[in-house]
């Protein structure tokens, strides 16, 4: 419950519950079966002294489609359209119920990539980034648009925004270890300028970018400032103000 993607020692578990390792092994087989049946993932067991059990999140295509369809349906109401061609979705991202499912879906998409840390931006990226990191069993590092004394020292990068002015991102030097393998996660991508800024942050920290995952990608503008990315949903707003939200295919092989 508390530690997906982290290895839990069999001996430790057997000790805590005062039962034999064989019994724990049987229970883990049952859990593995249940998780696979549910389309949520699997439990991998490594034998030996250094061994242990790890829950590996991996959403089945059916379960993924079911969850994302439901989110798309919630988003497709005209009263969610905000001035400037935006869609209101904060309620979904700040509902732990949905944020956990969306983070789990993103984590599943990158389950085979090498990832030490998830990177996101304040503030709507945080719940999605947090639950993605949770499912992957790694920490979260947050880029800020400003810096506060309690964040400690930071590295600053500048990047051009969609409107043409120059914006600033701060990354605390204690938050992101040098040369980490990072997964970039953000709530929404329109032109991709914020994600391009995050790529610059990654470069400053000599990080290897293992992937880019976003919750919502906008249909327009067609050309994005970042190349390869994985989105859960794609949205457009018709000229008469009706939102259309489509589930995106998972990366091939997932």
C-beta neighbour count of 84 within 10 angstroms: 6
As a whole number of angstroms, the distance between CA 89 and CA 24 comes to: 42
Residue 146 or residue 249: which is nearer to its own copies going by CB? 146
CB of 157 to its own copies, least distance (A): 18
Q: Which residues pair with 169 in a beta bridge?
A: 157
CB of 60 to its own copies, least distance (A): 14
CB of 100 to its own copies, least distance (A): 6
Q: Under a CB-based contact definition with an 8 Å cutoff, are residues 122 and 145 in contact?
A: yes
CB of 224 to its own copies, least distance (A): 18
3-state secondary structure of 109: helix
Residue 81 or residue 254: which is nearer to its own copies going by CB? 81
Q: Which residues in this chain contact its own copies in the complex, by CB under 8 A?
A: 1-3, 6, 16-17, 34, 37-38, 40, 82-84, 86, 88, 90-91, 94-97, 99-101, 104, 122-124, 126-127, 130-131, 133-134, 137, 139-142, 144, 149-152, 172, 174-175, 188
As a whole number of angstroms, the distance between CA 67 and CA 218 comes to: 20
Residue 78 or residue 249: which is nearer to its own copies going by CB? 78
- What interhelical angle do 61-75 and 96-109 show, nearest 10? 140
Stated as kind and residue range, the H or E segment containing 82 is strand 81-82
CB of 153 to its own copies, least distance (A): 9
Asked if residue 36 has a cis previous peptide bond (ω within 30° of 0), the answer is no
CB of 206 to its own copies, least distance (A): 19
Stated as kind and residue range, the H or E segment containing 17 is helix 10-17
As a whole number of angstroms, the distance between CA 148 and CA 150 comes to: 5
Residue 30 or residue 249: which is nearer to its own copies going by CB? 30
Q: Closest Cα to residue 88, out of 245, 251, 250?
A: 245
Residue 46 or residue 91: which is nearer to its own copies going by CB? 91
CB of 69 to its own copies, least distance (A): 17
3-state secondary structure of 191: coil
As a whole number of angstroms, the distance between CA 214 and CA 5 comes to: 21
Residue 9 or residue 249: which is nearer to its own copies going by CB? 9
């Amino acid at each position: 419950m508390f530690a997906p993607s982290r290895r839990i020692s069999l001996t430790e578990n057997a000790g805590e519950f005062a039962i034999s390792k064989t019994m724990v092994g049987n229970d883990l087989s049952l859990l593995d079966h249940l998780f696979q049946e549910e389309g949520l993932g699997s439990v991998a067991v490594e034998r030996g002294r250094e061994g242990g059990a790890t829950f590996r999140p991996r959403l089945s295509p059916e379960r993924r489609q079911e969850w994302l369809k439901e989110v798309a349906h919630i988003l497709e109401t005209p009263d969610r359209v905000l001035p400037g061609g935006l869609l209101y979705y904060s309620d979904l991202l700040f509902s732990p119920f949905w944020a956990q499912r969306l983070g789990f879906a993103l984590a599943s998409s990158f389950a085979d990539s090498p990832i030490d840390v998830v990177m996101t931006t304040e503030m709507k990226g945080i719940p999605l980034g947090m639950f993605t990191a949770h499912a992957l069993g790694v920490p979260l590092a947050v880029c800020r648009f400003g810096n506060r004394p309690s964040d400690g020292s930071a590295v600053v990068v500048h990047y051009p925004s969609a409107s043409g002015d120059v914006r600033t991102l701060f990354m605390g030097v204690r938050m992101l270890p040098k040369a980490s393998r990072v997964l970039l996660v953000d709530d929404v991508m329109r032109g991709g300028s914020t994600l391009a800024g995050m790529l610059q942050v990654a470069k400053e920290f000599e990080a290897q970018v293992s992937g880019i995952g976003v919750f919502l990608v906008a249909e327009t503008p067609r050309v994005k400032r970042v190349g390869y990315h994985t989105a859960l949903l794609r949205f457009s707003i018709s000229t008469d103000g009706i939102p259309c939200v489509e589930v995106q295919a998972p990366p091939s092989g997932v």
